[in-house]
Every structure is written in C-alpha cells, then in structure tokens.
Amino acid sequence: MKAHIHDAIAEIPAADWNRLAGPDYPFLQHEFLLAAEESGSVSPETGWQPCHLTLHDRDNNIVAAMPLYEKNQSWGEFVFDWGWAEAYQRAGLQYYPKLVSAVPFTPASSRRLLTGPEQNPELAGALITQAIGLAQRRELSSLHILFPMPGEIPLLQQHKLLLRKDCQFHWRNQGYADFLEFLENFSAAKRKKARRERRRIHDNGIAFRWISGETMDQDTWARVYELISITFMRRRSLPYFNLNFFQVLTSRQNSSIKVLVGERDNRIICTALFIQGSDTLYGRYWGAAEYVSGLHFETCYYQGIEYCIKHGLNYFEPGTQGEHKVSRGFLPAATWSAHWLAHPDFNEAVGEFVAAEQRYVDSYMDDVNAHSPFRRADQ
C-alpha cells in the first residue's frame, strides 16, 4: 500500500473521493471541498494549505482517504486551542504550523477516516499512522482531527490520540406530525413563549419561503451574501466563504443547498443558509437588514424545525454555541476531537487538561438537560 499527499483536492478523482466519503455529509463531498479551494476561500493565504492523504493498493486504486490541511493559525476550526499555542510560545517552542483533519469552517461532525460505506479498521488505522508520519516528516507540532464521528473515536483512542469532548445543541425529530405537535411537548410556559415569538414575526409582516440551490439566481445570491456579511461585520470579521464559493457550490451540489429568505413588501430582509444531508439539516449562516425582536430565533431555529418535520429529517444541527437554543427545543449533544502532540511533555499536559475538561463538559450537559423545555413525566 502506498500513501500520496495531494496539494489540492482537484488532484483526487471526485468519484473515488465520494465513494469513500459516502453520501450522508454534503460538506465532506468532493464538490464542497473543491469549491472551497477553487474560490480561494481555502488556501495558504487564508491559513489552510491542503495536503490531503490517500492510500493506494498495488493496482494504484484509491482505497482510503483523509482530508488534511497544514495550518499556520487556528481560525475557522471551532475547537479552540489558543491556550495550547500560548503555552508553546511561553516555553520558547513553535506551535504553528500544525496538521488538521477537518472540513474548513464547518463545525459539524462527519467521517474523517474515509474507507468506504463501512469503516475498515485496518485502512482507517493506516490513515492515522500516515497522518502522524506526515506531521513528523514536516516537523509539525501536532495533528488535530476535528469533529470525527463517534464511531471513529475508539480507533483514534487506540492510536494514542488525546480525546477532547465538547457540546453543541441539536434538535431531534420524535416523529412529530407538525410544529404544533412538537410544541405540545413543551411545558406550558415555554410553549407560550415560543408561540409569542413566532406571532411577533407574523405581526411584523414578514413571510418566509425556501429556495433550493438549483433555483437560486445571481441577484438572490448577491442579496443573501450581503445579509450574511452584515452578521460577520457586526463581529468585526468577514465571511469565511466568499460569494464565489456559494455560486460555484450551487452549480455542482445544488440539491443540498437550502436558502431561507424572509420578505416584507417583496424585499428580502433576512436570510439563513442551510445544507441538507441524508437525514440532517445543517444551519450555517444567517443575516438580517434590520432588528426585529425574535427574528433570529424564527429564521435560524423555528423555520428549520418546521422544514425537518415536513421533509422527514431526523436531526437539525444549527451550529455552535448558544444556550438560548435550549428553550427552543435543542438539547446538548457531544462533539469530539482527537489530538496528537509531538512534544511528549506537552502531550502529557494536554492529556491532563482534556481529561479535566471532559468532567466539566459532562457536568455542564447534565445541568443544561435539567432545564429542557420539554414536559417531565410528572407534569
């Protein structure tokens, strides 16, 4: 078996990559990663140098693959290691560059060890070994595998990577017939609050409609991107993905792109961008031209829940952070990352840190679950 490192996803045939990645996660598809690189959103200039890993058999067939990037900073990862970098600096060591396996700017769990429909432990283990070997050959400080699937965790642990646990807030479909049935499972106070929030948007004259990627035109994309950019600029930042990325991605992967627009007097005043997987809706970005109380909750959460119920999707992942999601029906869900640090002392210190951090995360998830909006059995 031979390993190859690719400086661009375009060097890997799309059919081979997608065969190994499977169809469930649209942002893991070759088309998504290619649009990110071709648009310049992912490049050495933005801190992401592609070095994707493939394994080949004797006949040069690709039998396993892994998305990999050499990075000189930690932006766009959503697994925060700034403190580790500072500790390296204080010790007179270089934390950057490092090696990262992730989908850029996408804090959603999906497979990282791509071996086909079923995980092949031997091939998956070889990918881990080769990735660590690449970090060693390039004299990088570390390897970080971000947002792997839970099924990959045991193998990562077997290869002595340090496991780090975090928490997001996800919605799960319990076979609801409609949004009203979903709300009926809330406590009376939380149900009343949700209805009041939704009514306020209706009273402001805002109507919503969904647009599938194949019917998005250039003018609508320009308006949607303008509103998304407003959200980033309020945080003194710029969107991770440029407009060209969305336009290119739509031309190649249009059926998974779902754009929600809120309109008043035939003008788009708010929007949210979603990506639909095989059984999950992923919320990505949102923006609004004006402030309306509760508009964020309606656009990013309630409308997405309604969409999932209508289309029979089992899960809705609206993105990172946000305890305000809990009162709208989103509950804690564990996410993971795995880490290998070349320096043995730092590897030991980080191991102690993530173990202590996991105890805190477990306690935090228990506390949040205790404040669920759903009725208890005794209510």
DSSP string, 20-41: HH-SS-GGGSHHHHHHHHHTTS
- 272, with CB counted inside 10 A (0-12, 13-18, 19+), is buried
What is the average pLDDT across 100-127?
96
Over range 328-357, report the average pLDDT.
Answer: 97
Count Cα neighbours of 149 within 13 Å in the Cβ-side half-sphere: 14
Sketch the domain layout of the chain as residue ranges.
Answer: 2-166+334-369, 174-313
Mean confidence (pLDDT) of the chain: 96
pLDDT score, position 322: 84
pTM over 0.85: yes
Residue 184 is predicted with a pLDDT of 96
CATH superfamily, domain at 174-313: Gcn5-related N-acetyltransferase (GNAT) (3.40.630.30)
Q: Which tokens sit at 281?
A: 């809706």
Pairing of strands 69-71, 2-6: unpaired
- What average pLDDT does this structure show over 294-305? 97
Within 8 A by CB and 6+ apart from 302, the residues are 179, 194, 197, 198, 328
Distance CA 140, CA 155 (A): 22
- % of the chain with per-residue pLDDT over 90: 93
Confidence at 203, pLDDT banded by 50, 70, 90: very high
pLDDT band at 335 (very low <50, low <70, confident <90, very high): very high
Does position 301 have pLDDT exceeding 60, yes or no?
yes
pLDDT (average), residues 171-196: 96
What does the DSSP assignment read for 348-369? HHHHHHHHHHHHHHHHHHHHHH
Side chain identity at residue 159, one-letter code:
H
> Do 2-166+334-369 and 174-313 show the same overall fold?
yes
Give domain 2-166+334-369's CATH number out of 3.90.950.20, 3.40.630.30, 2.40.37.10, 3.40.190.10.
Answer: 3.40.630.30
Tell whether the model's pLDDT for residue 194 goes beyond 60: yes
Closest C-alpha among 141, 132, 161, 48 to residue 92: 141
Contact predicate 117/68, CB 8 Å: no
Residue with tokens 């019917």: 215
Q: Which residues contact 197 (CB under 8 A, 6 or more apart)?
A: 294, 297, 298, 302
Say how far apart CA 329 and CA 285 lie, in whole Å: 20
Mean pLDDT of 337-357: 98
Distance, CA of 144 to CA of 119 (rounded, Å): 20
Output DSSP code: residue 114: B
Question: What pLDDT does residue 177 have?
Answer: 97
| pLDDT given for residue 379 in this prediction | 54
pLDDT at 118: 86
Distance CA(169)–CA(165), nearest Å, equals 14
Q: Which helix (H) or strand (E) holds 337?
A: strand 331-341
Edge to edge, the sheet with strand 267-276 lists: 48-50, 69-71, 98-101, 142-146, 331-341, 162-172, 315-317, 280-288, 267-276, 257-264, 207-212
The tokens describing 218, both together, are 């250039």
pLDDT in tens, 264-281: 999 999 999 999 999 999
Q: Grade residue 237 by pLDDT with cuts at 50, 70 and 90.
A: confident
Query: Number of helices and strands (H, E) in the chain?
Result: 12, 14
What mean pLDDT is predicted for residues 33-47?
A: 96
Q: Is 224 helix (H, G, I), strand (E, B) or coil?
A: helix
